[in-house]
Amino acid sequence: MTTTVGTTIRENPGLAAALEAIMDESDDGEETVEWKDIKDRDAIDSGQWGRLIQTDALVERENGFAIADPDAVAEALESDATAGSSSADLDESSGSSWRTADKVAGLVSLTLMTGYYFSPIRNVVGGAVDVVFQPLNDVLPFYAVILSLALITGLFTSLLQAKMVDQSKVKGIQQKMQDLNEREKAAKERGDDDALDKIQEEKMDAIGDQGEMMKENFRPMAWIMLLTIPAFLWMYWMIRDGHLDAAVEGGMILPFVGETGWREGVAGPMPAWIVWYFLCSMGFSQLIRKPLDLNATPT
């Protein structure tokens, strides 16, 4: 158990302070605790609580949750590796907040978005991006250029999410919700009304956790849009503003659709070029996200 706790803390530095808070609340592991008893402590959030349950550092007892091996936890907290993890927790806690650079990126992205409606902005952005992609456009068919663009934006998006989103926190929140649902189902089967009331209280507290998870996932969007919006504006500028060569302006053979023009609607009002980009982007994103463990589901 000592090795397990130590490994868990090394992989998730923020859990050190969380375990300290639980040890303090539970009288060094002698008593059980519930989420409502500890949720107001600054050292622990719901994602960390769920992560401790997921890793079996916390186990469910009749009257709440207990630390599985208090001696092992105390030993791990006293180790040199754990000594630096509490300060790392502060970095993680502030990591999900929007910094000035994030706000600037979001503001620039919103400004670029007006290029869909104002041709002067679209012309400037389209012309600037074309300097980069025109050499590629000279040697590849346009559908392959869009495919390449989808690969670049998909890779950029996935790497940003891997760097900026605390996947441990997100998965911890999801794991907590999954555990609550399983406990609720078991309580219903045995007709335990007291347990159901307790679980409902925990679910009400968990509503805020969903907002925390959305906050974790939303922050990278400012930077993602900073790349994807110019990419879309360039495709719009090429296709809708007449900068494609006459030889490729006709379109392509789209899967399940057949030969179609770039401007023709193939999914309701969505033109072929947008549908083709999204198909490529979703395919590449799934391939990239799996090795980066960005599925955001508990295992």
Domain residue spans in the chain? 2-95, 100-165+219-289
| Cα–Cα distance, 111 to 114 (Å, whole number) | 6
Is the Cβ–Cβ distance between 252 and 259 less than 8 Å? yes
CA distances from 296 to 28, 101, 162, 209, 293 (A): 33, 25, 11, 15, 7
Distant-in-sequence, close-in-space partners of 160: CB < 8 Å, separation ≥ 6: 220, 223, 224
The separation between the first and the last C-alpha atoms of the chain, rounded to the nearest angstrom, is: 20
- Stated as kind and residue range, the H or E segment containing 31 is none
| Beta strands at 58-61 and 64-67: parallel, antiparallel or unpaired | antiparallel
| Beta strands at 270-271 and 265-267: parallel, antiparallel or unpaired | antiparallel
57 burial (CB, 10 Å; 0-12 / 13-18 / 19+) is buried
| Cα–Cα distance, 83 to 80 (Å, whole number) | 5
| Cα–Cα distance, 131 to 137 (Å, whole number) | 10
pLDDT (0 to 100) of residue 248: 56
| Cα–Cα distance, 192 to 203 (Å, whole number) | 16
pLDDT (0 to 100) of residue 8: 66
Residues in the chain where the model's pLDDT stays below 50: 2-3, 80-95, 247, 296-299
Question: Which two three-digit tokens encode residue 48?
Answer: 């960390």
pLDDT (0 to 100) of residue 9: 66
| Beta strands at 252-254 and 270-271: parallel, antiparallel or unpaired | unpaired
pLDDT (0 to 100) of residue 229: 92
3-class state of residue 258 by DSSP: strand
